[in-house]
Amino acid sequence: MPRLYQAAPRVTFTVLAAAAAAFSLMQSLVTPVLPTIQHDLHTDAGTVTWVLTAWLLSASVSTPLLGRVADMAGKDRTLLVALGAIVVGCAMAALAPNVGVLIAARVVQGLGGAVFPVSFGIIRDEFPPARVASAVGVLAAVIATGGGIGIVLAGPIVGVLDWRWLFWIPMAVVVVVTAVAWRVVPPSPVRMPGRLNWVSAGLLSGWLVALLLPLSKGSTWGWADAKTLGLLGVAAVLLAGWLVAELRSANPLIDMRMMRLPAVWTTNLVALLFGAAMFGIFAFLPQLLQVPARSGYGFGATVTTAGLLMLPMMVTMAVSGSASGPLSRWLGSKAQVLVGAGLATLSCLGFALAHDAYWTIAVTGAVFGVGMGLVYSSLVNLIVQAVPRHQTGAASGMNTNIRTVGASLGTALVSSIVTAHPGGGGLPAESGYTTSFLVLAGAGAAAFLVALLIPVARPVAEPSPVVLPELSPVEV
């Protein structure tokens, strides 16, 4: 079947949105049903958490690396590789006979993290400049909403079918998306030929794994445990080594001059702080709702009910994120980040002070969703606007990773606070959740203050890119 490259931008965007949504679902779809998987695969609670950790580590390493490869070898090719990894990983997970195979499957799925930076790069390459902000905003909203909607869908899917369908369904969607993407996504018009810096790639992978692993397992291992402290120390050493290697390299994996741009480092710092607040709420608000009513403050909600109570948040996040691009004509991306961070901060305070009724949770969640949609979409647009076109994949990949580090910090911090406040009957005390939401409000407020430092966006100066013929080989 011949490939088609004259597809309308709307068709290309639909393909990218479907790919991004499928991968973002992988982020949270299994979280609410880990106890079910643990029971079905006859494993223990500590082992089954690796189903989440393996995906996190794989996605964190592959996202910036494949984003850089995409800038060199072509975003269309890298997109197909990422989609293929999702298909293979989902098939492995759906057929997994034991938890070891399931964990390996999640590692393969994580390689699909390249979908995010590659999609933003394709939009910048293929869309008219006047439409880039709107398209990026909507795609960012799809990604953010997908990460939360998995919590909503997991309960009903498992209740009606089986936990393995959490992988069969996305796999079927991605198979179709891959076939359409192969036909309609055009070859990248601009590439930067060169070799992948394997030393930098190894150091980057090393410090990410050494940092995220103890953040994910610290509450289980203990924050003062030798493994936790040792890995954090290794992460610090490898990070320093990576920075030195990148600064000295004539062929850096991530251009440190780009990372030092005021618009880039401030936006990345906001992403770190806001990632902590966003995923802290994602992870622990459903837990609060599922605390038994005998605790005196919990609702005793089922997984499905807790997911439905998150639905107003998902809807407002999708709407505000989709509106972010068109809204930028009147309210710039920086202003939207400020508004969104302010709303998120107020919402976290609302969760801390008023979480005694379903309606307060739903309304506060809806306000939080508005803030998340505005911030998430605007941060991506700020990065895309701040860097040269040939660095879009690497820059957006690092921004995604920094937000992931923030998410890990936020969930680790909240987990530590909740477990440090034991209540009666083996349940956490209400004060643990209240304190946690206040801390997340502090992260939102810090994100607001840092956002004040983001410079007003100006068109980035484009160096002379290398325009390659369609079938020209690229050294990777």
> Is the confidence at residue 282, as pLDDT, over 80?
no
Do 114 and 247 reside in the same domain of the chain?
A: no
Amino acid, res. 333: S
- For residue 469, tell me if it sits in a domain: no
Asked whether residue 214 falls in the same domain as residue 175, the answer is no
Q: What is the DSSP letter of 331?
A: S
The answer to whether residue 13 scores a pLDDT higher than 90 is no
Q: How is residue 247 written in tokens?
A: 């600064």
CA 47 to chain centre: 23
* Tokens 């690092």 found at: 398
Contact status, residue 311 vs residue 294, Cβ threshold 8 Å? no
Domain housing 219: 197-252
Side chain identity at 104, as an amino acid letter? A
Measured distance CA(191)–CA(243) in Å, rounded: 24
In a domain, 468, yes or no: no
Are residues 259 and 230 part of one domain?
no
pLDDT the model gives residue 123? 83
- β-partners of residue 191 are 466
Residue 343 has pLDDT above 90, yes or no: yes
Q: Does 241 lie in the same domain as 153?
A: no
pLDDT at 471: 39
Q: Which pLDDT band, with edges at 50, 70 and 90, does 462 fall under?
A: very low
In tens, the pLDDT along 120-176 reads: 888 877 777 777 777 777 777 777 777 667 777 777 887 778 888 889 988 998 999
Query: Residue 470: pLDDT above 70?
Result: no
Top-confidence range, 78-92, 182-196, 380-394, 407-421: 78-92
- 3-state DSSP assignment of residue 357: coil
Nearest to 180 by CA among 3, 361, 410, 429: 3
Percent of the chain with pLDDT over 70: 89
Kindly state whether residue 138 falls inside one of the protein's structural domains. yes
Q: Taking CA 275 as the corner, what is the angle to CA 272 and CA 279, rounded to the nearest 5 degrees? A: 150
Same domain for 217 and 135 = no
DSSP string, 80-96: HHHHHHHHHHHHHHHH-
pTM: 0.75
Residue 391 domain-assigned? yes
240 and 336 fall within a common domain: no
DSSP state of 352: H
Cα three-residue angle 383-387-392, rounded to 5 degrees: 75
pLDDT of the residue at 466:
45
For residues 180 and 201, membership in a common domain is answered with: no
In this prediction, residue 465 has a pLDDT band, given cuts at 50, 70 and 90, of very low
The C-alpha torsion from 134 through 138 and 140 to 143, rounded to 10°, is -170
Q: Is residue 364 part of a domain?
A: yes
Burial class (CB in 10 A: 0-12, 13-18, 19+), 356: exposed
Look up the CATH number of the domain holding residue 421: 1.20.1250.20
> φ, ψ for residue 428 (rounded to 5)?
-70, 150
Q: What is the DSSP string of 360-406?
A: HHHHHHHHHHHHHHHHHHHHHHHHHHHS-GGGHHHHHHHHHHHHHHH
**Which of 191, 218, 238 is where one domain is finished?**
191
Last residue of one domain, picked from the residues 152, 170, 191: 191
- For residues 170 and 52, give the distance between their C-alpha atoms in angstroms, rounded to a whole number: 17
Does residue 191 carry a pLDDT above 70? Answer: no
In a domain, 472, yes or no: no
Of 205, 225, 252, the last residue of a domain is: 252
Domain count, the chain: 3
For tokens 């941060």, name the residue: 379
pLDDT digits (tens, 9 = 90+) for 442-456: 999 999 999 999 887
Distance CA(189)–CA(192), nearest Å, equals 10
CA nearest neighbour of 29 among 81, 94, 124: 94
CA distances for 11 relative to 126, 140, 148, angstroms: 12, 17, 25
Q: Are residues 146 and 113 in the same domain?
A: yes
Low-confidence winner among 96-105, 147-156, 336-345, 375-384 (lowest mean pLDDT):
147-156
Angle between helices 311-327 and 129-160 in degrees, nearest 10: 170
In DSSP terms, 428 is beta-bridged to 422
Per-residue pLDDT tens over the stretch 363-410: 999 999 999 888 888 887 888 777 776 666 667 777 777 887 787 778
Task: Check residue 453 and report its DSSP letter.
Answer: T
Q: Using the predicted structure, report yes or no on whether residue 464 has a pLDDT greater than 50.
A: no
> Between 315 and 31, where is the model more confident?
315
For range 337-364, the mean pLDDT: 90
Cα separation, 411 vs 219, in Å, equals 10
Residue 61 inside a domain? The answer is yes
| Mean pLDDT within 79-89 | 91
291 is a domain residue: yes
Paired strand residues for 466: 191
pLDDT for the residue numbered 476: 34
Top pLDDT among 366 and 3 is at 366
- Looking at residue 3, what is its pLDDT? 53
CB 309 within 8 A of CB 361: yes
Residues 247 and 370 in one domain: no
Same domain, 176 and 205: no
Is 70 exceeded by the pLDDT of residue 457?
Answer: no
Rounded to whole angstroms, what are the CA distances from 439 to 224, 270, 454? 21, 16, 23
Do 396 and 428 belong together in one domain? yes
pLDDT band at residue 194, thresholds of 50, 70 and 90? Answer: low
Please give the Cα distance from 333 to 169 (Å, whole number): 35
Which residues, including other chains, have CB under 8 Å from residue 390's CB and lie 6 or more apart? 71, 190, 191, 192, 463, 465, 466
- Whose CA is closest to 422, among 431, 409, 413? 431
Residues 298 and 397 in one domain: yes
How much is the pLDDT for 189?
Answer: 66
